[in-house]
Structure 1
Amino acid sequence: MNSYIFPIKAAVITFPFLAMLITAPFLIYYYRKYGQLGKLRSLILYSFVFYLLCAYYLVILPLPSISIVAQMTGPRYELHLFQSWENFINQTVLQLNNPSTYLPAMKQSVFLEPVFNIFLLFPFGVYCRYYFKFSLGKTILASFALSLFFELTQLSGLYFIYPRPYRLFDVNDLLHNTLGGTFGFACAPLFTFFLPTRSELDSESLAKGQQVTLLRRFVAMVIDWIAIGFLSSLLKFFTNILPANLRALFNYPIASFTLAVMLYFMLLMHLWNGQTIGKKVVRIKVVEPDREHIRLWSLVKRYSAFYLLLYGLLQIFNYTMTHLPTNNHSVFIAYVTFGLMSLGILLLFLFNLLYALIRRKTRLFHDKASHTYTISTLLKKEVEHANF
C-alpha cells in the first residue's frame, strides 16, 4: 500500500508548483476564448491536473538509484496479451463456491495489479466525457495514448536517465488502462450529474467575460513581460553595432527597464490602439472615454504612474536601505526620510490593490490618474450566441 500512498504524497507536495506551470496554457486558452475562467471551471481543471500528476507519479515512483537499476537483469517488456489473466487463473486462491476465499483473493497481486491499472485511467474517462466532451471512440484513443505514454516512459528508463527500464513495459497494462478509461466514460453521468454541463460553463464564462478582472489583467501582464524578455534577448544580438557609450547605457537596469516600458507599453500600445501581445491574448484593451484611438500622452501618464513610478520608488528604497549604515548624521536622516517616503507610497499602492481585490473594483490608481479604462474585446454576438 505504501507504493501507492507515497506517489500521491509527492503529488500533493509538488502540485502547487507544477499546477502553475501546467495550467498556464489552459488559463491563456480560456481567457482568449471566453474572457473568464470561472471558479468551478478552475476547480475542475486543477483537479484534472492533480489527477494527472498522481497518475504519473504512480507510474514512475519510487525512483531507484541508477547503480541498482544498472545491475537489474530481469525482462524489460511483456508482449504476451492476456498474460495477466493467465497469471490470475494459475495463482489465485479464489474458489467461487467458498466465500471465505474472496477476501484473500482480492489481496493477491494477480488481482490488485490489473484492478489498479483499470482504476488508474477511470477518472480520465470521466473527464473526457464530462469536460472535454469526447465521444466514446475519442475517449478510447485518448486513454490508449495516455497509457502508451506511461508505458514508454517506463520502457525508456524515465527518458533514458536510467541505463535500462526499472519497471516492466506490459501490453496488458495498455489493455487495462484503456478499459479503465472506457469504463470511466460509461460511468461519468453517475459522478457528474450534479454539475453544470460544459455548455453551461462556457455560456457563464462568456457572459462574465465582458467584465475585466484584475486576474485577467495580471495574466496579460505576465505574458507581456515574457514577450519583453524574449524581444530583449533578440535585441542583444544587434547592440554590437551601437556606439560604446550607448551600449554601456543598457548595462544599467533602470535605463533598460525605462526603455522597455516606453517602447512596449507606450509606443507599441499607441500603434495597436491600447493593446499589447498579452492584452490581445486575453482579449482586453485600454481605452479613453469618447475616443476611438487612445492618445500616446494618456499611455505615457498611465504607465509612468504604474511602472516608472513604482520601479523608481523600489530603487530609492533599496538604495537607501543598502547605504543606511553611515556615520554622517545628515545623510542618515536623508536616507531614512527618502526610504520611509518611498515605502509609504509603495504601501499605498499595495493597499489600493488589496482594496480593489476585496471590493472587486476593476480600476487601480494608474487607471484613474490617466483617465483610462480596461475593457473586454469579446464580441457581444459571441456572448449572445453562447446563451442559446
Structure 2
Amino acid sequence: MSDQALNALTAVALGGVVAVVLFIPVAAYEYRRDGRLGAGDLTTLITGAVYGLSLWTYTLLPLPDRGEFRCRVPQSDLLGTIGLMGFPDDGVRVFLRDPAVQQVLLNVLLFVPLGVFVRLVLRRGVVVATLTGLAVSFAIEMTQRTGVWGFYDCAYRKFDVDDLLVNTLGALAGALLSWPVLRRRSDTPAPLPTRVTWGRRMAGMLSDALFVLMLGGAVAVAWRGLMFYVLDTGPHRAEQWLLQWSVPFAVEALCVLGLGRTVGEIVVSVRTESPRRWWTGPGRLLKLALGIGPVFWLVLAPIPYRGQLLAAYLVLTVVATFWTREHRGLSHALAGLELRVAVPPGAQPESVAQDADRPAEGSTDVSRT
C-alpha cells in the first residue's frame, strides 16, 4: 500500500472515531439550534472529522523511525519557493505538469474545504475563515519545523513559509466560493419542532450509549493507570469492571431522579412530564427501574444468558419507542410519564409560529379575498 493510500485510510479510520466522540456535543447543539439532526448534519460531522484528520495525516505521516531520516532545512524566505516557478515557453499544459506547480496547487486545494466549512457550518465571516486557515497552517508547519514538537531531534519534513501563504489563500478561496450558497440561505431562524420524533428518540438513546461507553472507558483507563503506575499492583479486572459500569450508571441515575431525564434525553432536549405533581418522584423512580436500570443490572449480574437477555431487552426498548404514543418508549409508558420537547429559552416553537400566522378570530385574511 502506498503512503498516500495509507494516509487516506488513517484519516478515514481516525476521523470516524472523532465523529463518534463528537456526536454528543454536535447533537446537543443542533437540537437546540434547529430542533433536528438531519442526514446533512451527520454527513457534515463525518466529512468534517475525516477532513480535519486528513490535514494532519497528509502533512505529517508517515512518521519515520528515529535516526533513519535526513534532517530537512527550513525554507524561511517569503516567495522563495513560489518565485522559482517561471511560466514556461511551452504553454500552460507543460506548466501545470511541473511537480512544484502541482504541489502549490494541491496546497491551495487542501485548504479550500476549510474555508467552506467555517463559512457554511460555523457561520463565520470571510476574515475569520481566512485567519482560521492561517492558524491551522501555522500549527502544521510548526509541528513539522519542530520535529513534532521535540519528538524528533530535527525536522523530517521541510518547513516552507510559502506554504503558509498558499494554504491561507486556499481558505480564502473556499470562503469566497461559499458566497452563492450563503445568498440563498435565510438568516431568520426557523421555528423549533415541538413533537418528539422517532429519530430524536433514537439520537437520545445513541447518546446515552456513547456516554456510558466513553465515560466507562475513561474510568477503566484511569483505574489501570492508578493500579499500574501509582500503586504498582495488578489490574484487578473484577473491580475495574464494576467501577467502569457503576460510575456511568450513577451519573445516569442522578440525572433521572433529579431532572427526570437521562443524559441522552438532555442531549436531544426532551423532558418528562407527569400527569399529576405528586407522581413526579415515583414516576422518575419507576423510569429508572424500568429503563436504564435493567441494562446495568444485566451487564453486572452473574446470571446465565445475560448477553442474550441484554440484547433482547435492548431490542424491546427500541421497538417500544416506535409503537408507543409520542415515541415514549417502554419505561415512560409503564411509569406513566409523557415526553415533551424542551424548547430553549428565547426560541420560537412551531406551535407559536403557526398561531401567529393564523388570522385572529373575526378578522379578514386579505390574501384570500
Deviation at 1:56, TM superposition (A): 1.9
User: What is the alpha-carbon distance in structure 2 between the residues aligned to residue 154 and residue 209 of structure 1?
Assistant: 51
Question: Structure 2: how far apart are the matches of 1:78 and 1:253?
Answer: 53
| Deviation, structure 1 residue 66 | 1.6
Find the aligned partners of 1:366 and 1:280 in 2 and give their Cα distance: 16
- Which protein shows a greater Rg? 1
The question of whether the paired residues in 2 share the 8 Å contact of 1:154 and 1:168 is answered with: yes
Cα pair distance change 1:229/1:367, threshold 3 Å: farther
* 1:10-159 correspondence to structure 2 within 5 Å: 10-69=10-69, 72-75=70-73, 77-89=74-86, 94-95=88-89, 98-99=90-91, 102-159=92-149
Contact between 1:36 and 1:208, CA under 8 Å: does it hold in 2? Answer: no
Shift of 1:264: 5.1
Which structure has the highest helix share of the two?
A: 1
Answer yes or no: is 1:203 the counterpart of 2:190: yes
What is the Cα deviation at residue 130 of structure 1? 2.2
Q: How far off is 1:256 after superposition?
A: 10
Change (3 A) 1:354 1:265: closer
Cα RMSD between the aligned structures? 4.0
In the alignment, the residues of structure 2 paired with residue 170 and residue 255 of structure 1 have an alpha-carbon distance, to the nearest angstrom, of 50
Letter in 1 for 2:164: L
Distance 1:366 1:298 in 2: 10
- 1:367 is aligned to 2:332: yes
Match of 1:377 among 338, 342, 347: 342
Deviation at 1:230, TM superposition (A): 8.6
Once the two structures are aligned, what percentage of the paired residues are identical?
Answer: 18
Structure 2: give runs of 5+ residues left out of the alignment.
223-237, 358-369
Q: SS of 1:36's equivalent?
A: coil
Q: Deviations over 1:189-213 (max 9, x none)?
A: 46x48x973758x637x33685442
Is the 1:87–1:110 contact (alpha carbons within 8 Å) kept by the matching residues of 2? no
Unaligned runs of 5+ in 1: 235-249, 321-338
Q: How many residues align?
A: 334
Where do residues 1-388 of structure 1 align in structure 2 (5 Å cutoff)? 4-69=4-69, 72-75=70-73, 77-89=74-86, 94-95=88-89, 98-99=90-91, 102-189=92-179, 192=181, 197=185, 199=187, 203=190, 206-207=192-193, 211=197, 212-220=200-208, 222-223=210-211, 269-270=256-257, 272-275=258-261, 279-291=265-277, 295-315=280-300, 318-320=302-304, 339=305, 346-356=310-320, 362-379=327-344, 382-384=347-349
CA drift at 1:80: 0.5
Shift, 1:177, TM fit: 0.5
Tell me the TM-score normalized by structure 2: 0.73
Closer/same/farther in 2, CA of residues 182 and 253 from structure 1, 3 Å limit: closer
Higher mean C-alpha displacement, 347-356 vs 299-308: 347-356
Distance 1:364 1:37, change over 3 A: same
Offset at residue 113 of structure 1 (A): 1.6
Distance 1:380 1:139, change over 3 A: closer
Distance 1:87 1:253, change over 3 A: closer
